[in-house]
Amino acid sequence: MNRVPGAVIWIRHRMNAARLVTDNLFRQGRKEWTLTPELKTKLLASLDAGRLVIICGAGLSMASPSSLPSALRVAQKCFDEHALITGANLDPGLRGNLEVLAEHFVELGELHSIFIERLVPWRDFVKPPNEGHVAIADLLLTHSLAAAISSNYDVLIEQSAAAYGADFLASLDGDEATVRTHIHGPLLKFHGCAQRDRRNTVWSASQIETQPLAGRIDRTRTWMAANLREKDFLVVGFWTDWDYLNSVIGSALEGVTPRSVTLVDLDTEERLQQKAPGLWELAHRDGVLFTHVRESGAAVLSDLRRGFSASYIRKILAAGRDAVAMATGVPCDPQWLEVREADLTDEEFYAWRRDAEGVPVGQPATARTPRSCEILGCFHLLVRKAGGTPTGTGYVLNNKSVRIINGAGTILATLKSRFVESPAIEAADIVVAVGATDIGLPSDIVRTGFAGDIVRPAAAGRWLDFQQAKAELEL
């Protein structure tokens, strides 16, 4: 029996808990539409063209259910822990300024041995991802984002990708970002990572002038100059009171003029300009379209991700429009092509996209745009024409739940054998493997088990090809 690593089980458990929170909020009708239709249209177009870059910081990870501590809170904890351990009376002014506190330990020669290894409350960075982290992971796995640049030490984006079953690794400099590009969009953590080379995370201005950090930042600056020109920047939770962080990213982006900057931050423009004058100047250069959105960064990213998923499904339906007209002899009704973002949660839309790629739960969706989907779109439209109601797993039609999977180029029996999913996954009454061919393989060639069986499980539901399902559902 295959065993799932304990760490992955833990990640999935924590992510499921986070998704229950966000899905419950969704069901209760909280405010979902954080972007204006005009701005959302522009951002989706940028995603589709591969031009969108996300720059994120502590504000993203402070959103629920992650609720990571602010720089002020980290400084207070480090200060108090040092006092508890040593009984020393440091300058009380250090308790409220993380950068100055870290610089104090640099001067003592104890930044690594005492401050980073002993005082920083790393345990506080181990929390469940929020909807913003999941959105970034999803958009990087599909190469929809040109890049994500993060000043956060936490690994919540990486955890989100791992929970989907992805081979995902953050980059610490521009060279590493280049290496990972063929696998997923790069996540560049230019201030360091809690899990990768923790000793060389950046906490003070003096560190960035010494090796290995100086070389890392130089490589990052070179990569940014080559890859971020003429891109659209979506800045989420980055504008910070931590002065040197602003100066590092401002220096790295020097010479990179974006097409547009969309700043997502609840603060006023006056305070934002005071906090980061260099970044403010970058966002207001001639020819740069600047937009300030005073909303939660996590909610904005969730909104954008749902728009991306809805666009993906619309493309599938549009691909089947001519085919359904030929199959039924009547023109495609425009209502069959409608995809309402309010009908499904982020994760339900994701499940639709994963099925449209023909991959089971436990493997990530990786396509930015659907492929081999004309016949897939045709079957969706046939179900909609017959009155099928969209659900999180597909449709309900004639009191039967119907799941539609892209089986293009596969044998029905072997495709079914790949979809042995967790018993916790809601099973459909009928699973339609559109594009798959049923050649009637005997059971001794493709071994089957029992749905829900832990030792020798089998895919749940009745599996049918296009023609079998069309007859069964009387389409």
Q: 53 and 228 in contact (C-beta within 8 Å)?
A: yes
382 vs 229, more confident: 382
Please give the pLDDT value at position 420. 83
What does the pLDDT read at residue 28?
Answer: 38
3-class state of residue 71 by DSSP: helix
Report the share of the chain in percent with pLDDT over 90: 64
Question: Please, which pLDDT band fits residue 20 given cuts at 50, 70 and 90?
Answer: very low
CA 291 to CA 233: how far, in whole Å?
10
* Res. 10: pLDDT tops 80: no
For 238, the 3-state DSSP assignment is coil
pLDDT for the residue 373: 93
pLDDT of 13 higher than 60: no
Check residue 34 and give its pLDDT.
82
Query: For 404-428, how does the pLDDT look when each residue is reduced to its tens digit (9 = 90+)?
Result: 999 999 999 999 999 987 665 678 9
Reported residue count of the chain is 475
Average pLDDT over residues 369-388: 95
99-133 pLDDT, tens per residue? 899 999 999 999 999 999 999 999 999 999 999 99
The neighbouring-strand residues paired with 389 are 396
- Residue with tokens 């990572």, as numbered in its chain: 193
> H/E element holding 462?
strand 462-464
The answer for 324, left when phi > 0, alpha when psi is -120 to 50, beta otherwise, is: alpha
User: Whole-number mean pLDDT of the chain?
Assistant: 86
CB contact at 8 A, 93 and 87: no
For the chain, domains (ranges, CATH) are 6-67+126-300 (3.40.50.1220), 71-120 (no CATH), 320-472 (no CATH)
Determine how many CB atoms are found less than 10 A away from the CB of residue 113.
Answer: 12
Across 242-246, average pLDDT? 56
Q: Is residue 464 pLDDT above 70, yes or no?
A: yes
pLDDT in tens, 275-286: 777 778 778 888
* AA identity, residue 466: F
pLDDT value, residue 254 = 66
Percent of the residues in the chain that have a pLDDT greater than 70, as a whole number: 84
pLDDT for position 424: 54
Is 147 within 8 Å of 227 (Cβ atoms)? yes
Mean of pLDDT values over 386-401: 95
Give the mean pLDDT of 195-222: 89
- Residue 377 has what pLDDT? 97
**Tokens describing residue 368:** 């930015």
| DSSP output for 246-314 | HHHHHHHTTT---SEEEEE-SS-HHHHHHH-HHHHHHHTSTT-EEEEE-S-HHHHHHHHHHHHHHHHHH
Identify any residues that bridge with 450 across adjacent strands, giving them in sequence order. 457
Confidence of residue 88 (pLDDT cuts 50, 70, 90): confident
| pLDDT, position 11 | 44
For the stretch 310-352, pLDDT in tens is: 999 999 999 999 999 999 999 999 999 999 999 999 999 999 9
Position 443 confidence tier, pLDDT thresholds 50, 70, 90: very low
The tokens for 244 are 């040197």
**Distance between CA 298 and CA 64 in Å, rounded?**
9
Average the pLDDT over each of 3-7, 105-109, 194-198 and give the range with the smallest value: 3-7
Note the pLDDT of residue 269.
Answer: 86
Distance CA 218, CA 255 (A): 14
pLDDT at 197: 93
Confidence grade of residue 229 (pLDDT, cut at 50, 70, 90): confident
What's the rounded mean pLDDT across residues 4-33?
44
Do residues 55 and 249 make contact, with C-beta atoms less than 8 angstroms apart? yes
Q: What is the pLDDT of residue 24?
A: 43
